[in-house]
Amino acid sequence: MPNAFDGTKRTLRGFLIQIRAYHQFHTINLSYLNDKMQNVATFIKSDTLEWIEPLFRDFFEYNNDDQNPLTRKVFNLYKDFEVKFKIVFGEMDKKRAAKRQFAKFKQTGSASYYAIQFYQNILQLY
């Protein structure tokens, strides 16, 4: 199961990958367009939940024609949700964030652990 997302920018990509893997594994149970979005809400907490709560309230209280266009968009296509989610909770400038991480690098453990951390940071740029 995916770990809950609390709004921490550095964990966003990992969270979305975990959610995609979970959805892929549970395809049969998540067959309707809005099932994936409803599932994602169970893995969101704290301030992040405050952002998504109005969308869910709109989704549950109104029929499709009366819903906010953003609600319809994110509930009808999960990829649209991811795009909006990344805009709100993701890094604005990936290169700048990677440079900050490189500036903080110190080898405190084994060389192999340091190398893993280095390569993970490089992969964040892609």
Question: pLDDT at position 104, please?
Answer: 73
Question: pLDDT at position 97, please?
Answer: 66
pTM attached to this predicted model: 0.70
Average pLDDT, the chain: 84
**CB crowding 24-53: b at 16 or more within 10 Å, else e:** eeeeeebeeebbbbebbeebbeeebeeebe
> What distances in angstroms separate CA 14 from CA 67, 89, 124, one per listed residue?
30, 13, 11
Q: Are 117 and 105 in contact (CB under 8 A)?
A: yes
Low-confidence ranges of the chain (pLDDT < 70): 91-98, 102, 121-126
